[in-house]
Structure 1
Amino acid sequence: MEAIFTVGHRVGSPLAVALILKTPTERGQPGRVAFVAGKRVGGAVVRNRSKRVLREAARRMGAPWQGADVVLIARRGTADAPPAAIDNAVESLLRRGGVR
């Protein structure tokens, strides 16, 4: 998973950042998805809520995605944003990153 931070494609929005690394699809394995919220986002409760809402948005978008490893990084305000805004942000990140 370390390669995603050095070689992966970074796409950002006001609510989240996505790191995307294309993987060979011939392995027959689904891609991996990780959720991160740094201390800048807030205390433990806010960080956990931020990851939870990102996880739910990714689930609604069909995670894990074949042929890509994705790291979704929460930004300030993710925990308090309406679900529709988070869904739109995640979908936009995936589209711009070439996953969807």
Structure 2
Amino acid sequence: MLILAICLGTVVLLGVIVWMGTHMVSHPDPNAGAIGGGVGAGLGMLDPGAARAREEVDDKKNQAEILPTPDDDDEHPRWKVDLHRGTVKIPRPPQ
């Protein structure tokens, strides 16, 4: 009897997951990402090492370099940053 209840619960759970997946695809909703985030958090409990690695990769994607902002009264020369070429030109101070 216990095996029958487990099989029935598994089939019902699989049906709900399939229904939620098709509903998210057929009816795009801005809040539908929260459901996927909840499923991802649940999977993170099963494999926490992979979840932390995924978070680290996402953090690296959002990481940026910090450059000093040029001020008018600053005594340092202004840097010319070319983001397309990935170069920084620092003018020499007058001697």
TM-score range, shorter chain: under 0.3
Structure possessing the higher relative contact order (Cα contacts under 8 Å, 6 or more residues apart): 1
TM-score using structure 2 length: 0.24
Structure with a larger share of its residues in helix = 2
Larger Rg: 2
